[in-house]
Amino acid sequence: MKTEKKINPFLNVQIMNQIMSIDNFIALCESAAKNDDGVIDEMESDIIKKVTKVSKKYKSELEKILD
């Protein structure tokens, strides 16, 4: 019978904090893009899309660790 090791609870908390920070980071990038003129222009939109894509991939990988 295979016994499954449980993740260190302190490490678990750090990973969970990072996961929550990713969503905040994306929201803050969107907010920052609007700060100068109140709208998100094409260049800012492209940057936000790229940031969102890689951030969600990173988040997904962290979530796999916790599963």
With helix as H, strand as E and coil as C, how does the chain read? CCCCCCCCHHHHHHHHHHHHHHHHHHHHHHHHHHHCCCCCCHHHHHHHHHHHHHHHHHHHHHHHHHC
Query: Which tens digits make up the pLDDT trace of 4-48?
Result: 678 899 999 999 999 999 999 999 999 999 998 999 999 999 999
pLDDT of residue 51: 97
The gap from C-alpha 26 to its chain's centroid, in whole angstroms, comes to 7
- Number of domains composing the chain: 1
pLDDT level of residue 49 (50, 70, 90 thresholds): very high
Residue 1 lies in a domain: no
d(CA 49, CA 45): 6
Residue span of the structural domain in which 45 resides: 41-67
